[in-house]
Amino acid sequence: MPTSLCGTWDMISNVNFDGYMSALGISTYLRKIALRLKLKKVIERQGDQYIIKTLSTFRNYAISFKIGQEFEEFTKGLDNRHIKSTVTWQGNKQKCEQIGEKKNRGWAHWVEGDKLHLELYCDGEVCKQVFKKNVNE
């Protein structure tokens, strides 16, 4: 049983976010804004439904899904694409495959100690974000 991803997590590092956003075709203007953000992840589970919220002072984004069940994702306020997403467990990693216009798109979450790790993939670019557990929220 993998350590729970659930909780509130504050970003402490963010490597190659710019490369990931460039691969998604995000404008220079929006990339500059996004690069300054300290993202927060709120991960909840209600029965077999997961909810992942990405929060910032600029925009918020949320998805909800069941493990192994493909769902329609619209990346509203991000790159605004319609994709078909499926989240599965592979060992201790929760992995999402995002099928659409962009090749090799997806993400993986896992926990190590009190840190939440996230890799974001698009078209050969890998962004690595690490979050620290926020015990006050």
In the complex, the residues that contact ligand YOG under the rule CB under 6 A are 21, 24, 26, 30, 34, 37, 39, 41, 52, 54, 56, 58-61, 63, 78-79, 107, 118, 120
The string of DSSP letters for 62-96 reads EEEEETT--EEEE-TTTT--EEEEEEEEETTEEEE
Cβ 117 vs Cβ 111: under 8 Å: yes
**Closer CB to ligand YOG, residue 25 or residue 48?**
25
- Shortest distance, CB of residue 93 to ligand YOG, whole angstroms? 12
- Shortest distance, CB of residue 31 to ligand YOG, whole angstroms? 7
**Closer CB to ligand YOG, residue 8 or residue 54?**
54
